[in-house]
Structure 1
Amino acid sequence: MRTPRMTIETTLSAGATRAGDILDVLESEAIHIIREVVAEFERPVLLFSGGKDSVVVLHLAAKAFWPGRVPFPVLHVDTGHNFPEVLAFRDATVEKLGVRLTVARVQDYLDDGRLEERTDGTRNPLQTLPLLDAIAAGRHDAVFGGARRDEDKARAKERIISLRDGFGQWDPRNQRPELWNLYNGRHRPGEHVRAFPISNWTELDVWRYIEREGIELPPLYYAHERDVFRRDGMWRAVGPVSEPRPDEQVQRVQVRYRTVGDMSCTGAVESDALTVADVVREVAASTITERGATRADDRISEAAMEDRKREGYF
């Protein structure tokens, strides 16, 4: 008789509450999802920005197919506002793993008139069209992402395997049941799915896993001194695409980033966390998610994330 695969629910009900036990189950589930998608779909791709969640998913993919290479390419939508440290880390990581990287650039769309700059200066919402075009150009039928349900209420509505229609759009009312961890990947020509292997993880789970596995990250995730200014309750980095207004005072502050989106919309938090262990303790004490605390693009409206996801955003 085949032994049922352990799930998060069965493990917790059996009394496995230690962090190590939970991480083992989360890792097992994520690797199972990655392998299922690769087995079921023809041309999967991983969205890889160099941020911690996509780094963890790529690490899981490498473990899933070891000693072979990761059997799919990675894709990054470069807004032109990314932190240089993160781009350098992205390039070093894909070179080390021998993974093919495709970069879709928002600047190309601005240059030829397919997109226009926003009045608020952020380019994060402008990623949708380049992303959908890159998916179509690569004929990708499955797109891995590092989204987690605890990040945002719109992401909490996602299934692990989430269907996108022929226009790349998401309908939160048309979600398929995933009973007993069975994933429905059926789709018509022109449609694709988004797959979220770490959907059930929390920010704390991610950091505990990074600590356990010794995963390298961009240095922005750890405390460092930086010139910043205060805007909308967040410390914003001083840079070419993030300049203070006349009434905003530049200060030298020790900060770190909980998420590394664009410089033009991502805030830092004051922190003394110099090591992974320090970050684990800090996150364990936090009562605000990383996006809620540091992402200005999610504050555009009450449903900002859901509106972008409906249009095809990841």
Structure 2
Amino acid sequence: MTASITEASASAGASTRLDALDLLEAEAIHIIREVVAEFERPVLLFSGGKDSVVVLHLAAKAFRPGRVPFPVLHVDTGHNFPEVLAFRDETVERLGVRLEVARVQDYLDDGRLAERADGTRNPLQTRPLLDAIAAGRHDAVFGGARRDEDKARAKERIISLRDEFGAWDPRNQRPELWSLYNGRHTPGQHVRAFPISNWTELDVWRYLEREQIPLPPLYFAHERDVFRRDGMWRAVGDSSLPRPDETVERKRVRYRTVGDLSCTGAVESDAADLAAIVREVAASTITERGATRADDRLSEAAMEDRKKDGYF
């Protein structure tokens, strides 16, 4: 009898053992719940990209069977992929989440911002973002940044303080020991919270596959007109036109990240489902931002400089 009880207990323990994705999920849900408990008006940055999709899915899990208790915010550059905008709208409607949109085009129209010579609008997102945070009186802003994406993002804490001007000081980071997060801030300041900070790109794709989370179709292999620039395949579109010396080709591609159309490159791929993408990413030796984001190649410290000014 004793042996049978012992064997049954061991079997039950083995069946309830958490794997790596379970632990990452539990940590992220803990962070989301902590922020909602501590802050008055959180908001989640939601572009329709895979990382923000995962964070929104985690938030829905954290408060199920209730609804997500905060709105989502998208800074629309005006150069977004139409497929991603459609997916964004479908997702917030399905989950019953309120969507706030800050539009770069509004700032260009009234002269608060000017178009850049290189045509990309990614760096122009900072001011609309900070204005939207101030207008909504948001004291905590969830983001989908991960430490493996970029050197600057690797410096971030999970709860990262922004000063009265929305600026980030990488030299003034608070310690985070034993999963204790310091959210103290003064009026006018806010924090950025990164629930999937400790995830890798492969973790994200494995979780998307496990949870069968819907994604924009751009992430899967498809036929598209593209042209080669700066070592990347750029999509042909109103805000992304080839130069006279650049040839348009029809390629089977997919996107590893979906930002501003004018600075986001595609990769050649036949990965048409989540399982194939997991295998492809597992074999990759370069991060998605390094492989497909032209704005991060402007300088060695391009991302850090934008973050200091208030960028994501």
Match of 2:134 in 1: 136
Computing the radius of gyration from Cα coordinates, the structure with the larger value is 2
Match of 1:29 in 2: 27
SS in 2 for 1:180: coil
TM-score normalized with structure 1 length: 0.94
Match of 1:169 among 163, 167, 170: 167
Q: Distance in 1 between matches of 2:309 and 2:187?
A: 19
Q: Distance in 2 between matches of 1:134 and 1:41?
A: 17
Q: Distance in 2 between matches of 1:241 and 1:232?
A: 17
Match of 1:300 in 2: 298
Q: Distance in 1 between matches of 2:171 and 2:31?
A: 23
Deviation at 1:131? 0.1
Q: Distance in 2 between matches of 1:122 and 1:290?
A: 18
Deviation at 1:192? 0.1
1:150-189 equivalent positions in 2, closer than 5 A: 150-189=148-187
Question: Segments of 4+ in structure 1 off by > 2 A?
Answer: none
Counterpart of 2:179, as a letter, is: N
SS in 1 for 2:101: strand
Deviation at 1:20? 7.0
Aligned residues: 297
Counterpart check, 1:203 vs 2:192: no
Match of 1:8 in 2: none
Counterpart check, 1:80 vs 2:78: yes
SS in 2 for 1:99: coil
Match of 1:39 in 2: 37
Counterpart of 2:161, as a letter, is: L
Match of 2:54 among 53, 56, 59: 56
Deviations 1:86-130 (A, max 9, x none): 000000000000000000000000000000000000000000000
Q: Distance in 1 between matches of 2:238 and 2:247?
A: 16
Q: Structure 2, unaligned stretches of length 5 or more?
A: 1-13
Match of 1:232 in 2: 230
TM-score normalized with structure 2 length: 0.94
Sequence identity (%): 88
Q: Distance in 2 between matches of 1:293 and 1:67?
A: 39
Counterpart check, 1:147 vs 2:127: no
Match of 1:270 in 2: 268
Deviations 1:280-305 (A, max 9, x none): 00000000000000000000111000
Q: Distance in 2 between matches of 1:194 and 1:104?
A: 18
Match of 1:191 in 2: 189
Counterpart of 1:42, as a letter, is: E
Q: Distance in 2 between matches of 1:172 and 1:311?
A: 12
Deviations 1:160-205 (A, max 9, x none): 0000000000000000000101000000000000000000000000
Q: Distance in 1 between matches of 2:254 and 2:20?
A: 27
How big is the alpha-carbon RMSD for the aligned residues of Structure 1 and Structure 2? 1.0
19-28 or 299-308, which deviates more: 19-28
Match of 1:9 in 2: none
SS in 1 for 2:178: helix
Q: Distance in 1 between matches of 2:66 and 2:177?
A: 31
Q: Distance in 2 between matches of 1:177 and 1:217?
A: 35
